[in-house]
Structure 1
Amino acid sequence: MTDTLVLRLDGRPVGRYVYRSALATDHAPRPYLHPVTTLGGTAVTELMPDDHPHHLGVGVAVPDVEGRNFWGGRTFVRDRGSVALDNHGAQRHQGFPMREPDAFVEDLYWTAGGTRLLHERRTLVARELAGQAWALDFTFALGNTTDAPLSIGSPATNGRPGAAYGGFFWRAPKEKEPPAVFTAHTEGETAVHESTADWVAFAGDGWTLVFAGADEATRRDPWFVRAAEYPGVGSSLAHARRTAIEAGATLTRRIVTVVADGRLDRGQAADLVRQAVRDE
């Protein structure tokens, strides 16, 4: 069974959200956005690509919550490498406390082995910006529903340098040439990866995505960036060390993504980020 909704701006569809799907368990079933499009209709997400079949458009994915894999695919184990384990969790849709054409609030449970580990309150808002651009405002709040601390990790914290993925993640379409990657002060995948820039831009063939941390906690998270191997951008919840969520506590992050037609330059990207990031 697949259940979906469509985000719209002035009646124009800009994103399809799949909140229930029949994905295989090795993909760590979870809600996702795909396709997401520019106002001109260009798709800027990819679903289940051959290089990483567990990449699902735009969403929240974490490879290690107390040893449970909510990312999909193999699990990186210290001193063993990437191993296929029967440890996949799932994000289960519970309901929409609020649902409008251009926004929704969703409740989910993160479950593994029949146990609820986290309750998530997810809020998505689509906003028009000046010119041929719009912004996706994506907030997720992960609340520990157990009676003990939960620890979030990544392949990096488990012994694989440079692989601190886990959190918000956007898989962009793979094209003939890798996208250009830049921030306000630097450019190139190597320079931008693991930085804590205020924003990161991806410029592809006729489209640009600009990702910005929209609160203090999110701005402290380093960026996870891939361009040459595959095009993907995310924030790192567990970069140098594991991140704990105490019993009854909540971890919240907010990322705003500018979705634009055309290839933006540094100045244009900065201007749109200023429009898009609004303190609530």
Structure 2
Amino acid sequence: MAGPGVHPQALDGQPHGTATLRVRGHDVARYVWQPDLPLAMSPRPYLHPVRTLAGVTVTDAAPDSHRHQFGISIAAPDVGGHNFWGGRTFVAGHGPAWLDNHGVQHHERWLRHGGDELAHALRWADAHGAALLREQRTIACRPLTDIAWALAMHTRLTNLTGAPLPIRSPAAQGRPGAGYGGFFWRGAAADTAQVLSPAGSDVRSVHGGTAAWLAVTGVTSGDTWTVLFVPGDETTARDRWFVRARDYLGVGSSLAWDEPLVLGPDETIERSLVTVVVDGPLTPAAAAALARQAT
């Protein structure tokens, strides 16, 4: 059963394990808080579809090329040797391999719930149910302009293992450029796409670096949309961006790039990121102004 007070109607009519977020009367996102996924996908809550105010979908889920990617989620490829990303695990000196090491993010209880805000407690556990992390996650949405709305996501992660707990990306284990892990957006399939940031108008300018904001503009079946990403606090602003636009559209804010992030026993970290969903394109100047407004 869905938690008390959670809206039971998803955007596609599914009544179980989902909640709908609304802005100005528009259904703008579905949060799948209790997904029905195989263990090899590292089951976790995710947002999909996420839509512009005009109804254009800007996320993808379980695409043929990467079945383990789901809309907007918080995922990590290696937490103490356990895969909370899904799919294959990168093994140093070998490459990607299928391992029996997938973890699960379990919903535990609702803290707040409504049409414009959701907050819940989660437990990150290995395949045998042993808890590694406790999380408190908040997702909130609000209008910004007639064509843009903001989705703010905040996560608070605490090490439950009683020992140092490393969080690693494949880049930290020798795979160049693969610094993903943390917040991740899998973009909708686009006929054309352009990346914008204060560092430049291409992927190479910002991938693996920091920037005050990052935007992706896409065209899907004649509809132009932009998704703008803005760090929500100073700590998140120091995390590096992971950007993919060649084979698919993907943007992540990396918890650990070329060095592991090691949490001590009972240590807590927090991250905040704001995603602005826009109908139409943005110039660099308009993106910078909207980024300031969003935070």
TM range, smaller chain = over 0.9
Partners of 2:173 and 2:258 within 8 A in 1: no
Partners of 2:137 and 2:153 within 8 A in 1: yes
The yes-or-no answer on 1:240 pairing with 2:258 is: yes
Equivalent pairs, count = 276
Aligned equivalent of 1:253? 271
Matched letter for residue 108 of structure 1: L
Instruction: Please list, as runs of the form range in 1=range in 2, the aligned pairs for 1:206-245 lying within 5 A after superposition.
Output: 206-245=224-263
Tell me how far 1:146 sits from its aligned partner.
Answer: 1.7
Distance 1:10 1:131 in 2: 10
Partners of 1:132 and 1:260 within 8 A in 2: yes
Distance 2:187 2:249 in 1: 5
Tell me how far 1:184 sits from its aligned partner.
Answer: 2.0
The yes-or-no answer on 1:133 pairing with 2:151 is: no
The yes-or-no answer on 1:31 pairing with 2:49 is: no
Q: Give the CA RMSD over aligned residues.
A: 1.0
3-state SS, counterpart of residue 289 of structure 2: helix
- Return the match for 1:200 from 203, 214, 224: 214
Aligned equivalent of 2:132? 117
Aligned equivalent of 2:203? 189
Tell me how far 1:207 sits from its aligned partner.
Answer: 0.3
Gaps of 5+ in 1: none
Distance 2:205 2:285 in 1: 19
Tell me how far 1:127 sits from its aligned partner.
Answer: 1.0
The yes-or-no answer on 1:164 pairing with 2:182 is: no
Instruction: Please list, as runs of the form range in 1=range in 2, the aligned pairs for 1:168-183 lying within 5 A after superposition.
Output: 168-177=183-192, 179-183=193-197
Tell me how far 1:185 sits from its aligned partner.
Answer: 3.5
Tell me how far 1:176 sits from its aligned partner.
Answer: 2.4
Partners of 1:181 and 1:192 within 8 A in 2: no
Tell me how far 1:135 sits from its aligned partner.
Answer: 0.4
Tell me how far 1:21 sits from its aligned partner.
Answer: 1.7
- Return the match for 2:282 from 261, 264, 275: 264
Tell me how far 1:59 sits from its aligned partner.
Answer: 0.8
In percent, how many aligned pairs have the same letter?
47
Gaps of 5+ in 2: 2-15
Distance 1:223 1:257 in 2: 14
- Please, what TM-score do these two structures have when normalized by structure 2? 0.92
Partners of 1:182 and 1:202 within 8 A in 2: yes
Tell me how far 1:266 sits from its aligned partner.
Answer: 0.6
Tell me how far 1:240 sits from its aligned partner.
Answer: 1.7
Segments ≥4 residues shifted beyond 2 Å: none
Tell me how far 1:216 sits from its aligned partner.
Answer: 1.1
